[in-house]
Amino acid sequence: MMESWATFGADLHLDLSAGRGLRAGLTEALREAARSGRLAAGTRLPSSRSLAADLGIARNTVAEAYAELVAEGWLTARQGSGTRVAERARPRRSAAPARVRRPARGGPSYSLMPGSPDLAGFPRAAWLSAARRALTGAPNEAFGYEGDARGRVELRRALADYLARARGVYADPERVVLTAGFVHGLKLLARVLRARRVREVAVEGYGLDYHRDVLVRAGLRTRPLGVDGDGARTGELTGAAGAGGAVGAPGAVLLTPAHQFPTGAALTPARRAAAVDWARTTGGLILEDDYDGEFRYDRQPVGALQGLDPDRVVYLGTASKSLAPGLRMGWMVLPPGLLDEVLAVKGLGDRTSSALEQLTLAEFITSGAYDRHVRGMRVRYRRRRDELVAAVGGRVAVSGIAAGLHAVLDLPAGTERSVLQSAAWQDLAVCGLARFRHPEAELPARDALVVGYGTPPDSAWTPTLAALAAALP
């Protein structure tokens, strides 16, 4: 009987028709896939648990759909053989059949795009338990219109304790401001910098373009710093000595010191010290993006840069990588002299996540569930990283793998575009390193892929690795 690895989990590409119940929609989608021949006779379907996890629906819904189709004769279910598409007459085809296309899901079948965790790994049961406890103990005023512009004090206290313990951050709850994520925090800081008459912000030569866009839209220029195996070349900041915000000198610098994005380098102690010395000398600010500091694999965690000088460093973190970006939960730890200015531009009207979500995260952290979840995901992501290295080992060099959710695969010179095209033919979404290069950066030529191994669900991991291996030279 025919069996294809490309049909497991999310790779069934089912189109659940809008306006129908979940079970009816799933049943019809599977029936049509078998009727049309898109799911060939003998194809083994994923388990009800796996498909339910990928589709984000109840396992019973999948089991009931399978049972109905077995009764109709579209599927078969045998002990030890799983659920398969039944042997039926082949579908009739026209004389000149067009290539059958998979239903669109908004993108390629497989994704190794960096920047996302495995969303199927969100701790639903533990989060629900925390939400119940938070709701039970929530004060009545938490449901009102009024509130602290910094966010719920319960979460600010929980974060202050956690960040001090896990990341070495000096965090007074009074100086913690909750945001809807890193970009939200950066927008607020950009407005403050512009109000301070800052004209230029130094950024890493490799980084996210939409972070640079936030600064540019606020009226700030961006100056790229060189990046190498030791992280950003912060010594280049001293070449622009002068009062913070003076014409020609950056008034702030945006860094990812624990795990440079996307190259994966950790900023060395000497370069950390150079950045802090620059900030103290010029009055400039360091904006620290600690986007995945919890995930270290091969050595002790690299502490936050903020610990070297809490008066000159703004620490920014989020729950986007450790939990899920859909929570829209981030935070800033501000120097004392910056708090009033940030709150002035934020205001009470600039709300973030709901009070109940903030209370839930506070409960999730203080109960120890957050630490347990991070430890479990750290094991899971390390296993994926090791499997990625094994899958491409000997063909390309892999770097930036001591931490985080992505790796850099170096390619032969001049091949980045062709490899990306090959990946597209494999129906695989992946990024080239050139995508992250600042347009004005003077960096050595480097062809590479930035591979986000945290992105695929478990059911798609093996075929996604196969697609990547097929795309490499």
- What is the spatial distance between Cα 287 and Cα 317, in angstroms, rounded to a whole number? 11
User: Mean pLDDT over residues 173-189, rounded?
Assistant: 96
pLDDT per position as a tens digit, 416-445: 999 999 999 999 999 999 999 999 999 999
CA nearest neighbour of 268 among 318, 218, 216, 233: 233
pLDDT per position as a tens digit, 251-260: 999 999 999 9
Residue 41: pLDDT band with limits 50, 70, 90: confident
- Residue 49: the pLDDT is 86
Residue range 124-367 in CATH 3.40.640.10: yes
Sign of CA dihedral 265, 268, 271, 276: positive
Q: Tokens for 151, please give them.
A: 């966010």
Q: Tokens for 239, please give them.
A: 């070449």
Residue 121: pLDDT band with limits 50, 70, 90: very high
- Residue 250: the pLDDT is 93
pLDDT of 294 strictly over 90: no
**CB-side neighbour CA atoms (13 Å) of 33:** 25
Residue 216: pLDDT band with limits 50, 70, 90: very high
Whose tokens are 């270290």? That residue is: 296
CA nearest neighbour of 83 among 56, 110, 62, 102: 62
Q: Let me know: does 50 contact 89? Beta carbons within 8 Å.
A: no
Query: Could you give the residue ranges of the DSSP H alpha helices within 11-152?
Result: 22-36, 48-55, 59-72, 124-137
Residue 187: pLDDT band with limits 50, 70, 90: very high
pLDDT per position as a tens digit, 324-358: 999 999 999 999 989 999 999 988 667 777 899 99
Residue 21: pLDDT band with limits 50, 70, 90: confident
Q: How many residues does the chain have?
A: 473
Q: What is the DSSP letter of 304?
A: P
Q: Tokens for 255, please give them.
A: 């860094």
User: Mean pLDDT over residues 11-38, rounded?
Assistant: 72
Residue 87: pLDDT band with limits 50, 70, 90: confident
pLDDT of 245 strictly over 60: no
Into which CATH architecture does domain 5-101 fall? Orthogonal Bundle (1.10)
- Residue 18: the pLDDT is 47
pTM recorded for the entire structure: 0.76
- Residue 1: the pLDDT is 37
- Residue 107: the pLDDT is 67
Per-domain residue ranges of the chain: 5-101, 124-367, 370-471
Say what percent of the chain tops pLDDT 70. 88
Q: Let me know: does 433 contact 260? Beta carbons within 8 Å.
A: no
pLDDT of 163 strictly over 80: yes
pLDDT per position as a tens digit, 365-404: 999 999 999 999 999 999 999 999 999 978 899 999 999 9
pLDDT of 169 strictly over 90: yes
Residue 448: pLDDT band with limits 50, 70, 90: very high
Beta pairing, strands 221-225 & 200-204:
parallel
Residue range 370-471 in CATH 1.10.1740.110: no
User: Mean pLDDT over residues 155-179, rounded?
Assistant: 95
CB 182: neighbour CB atoms within 10 A?
23
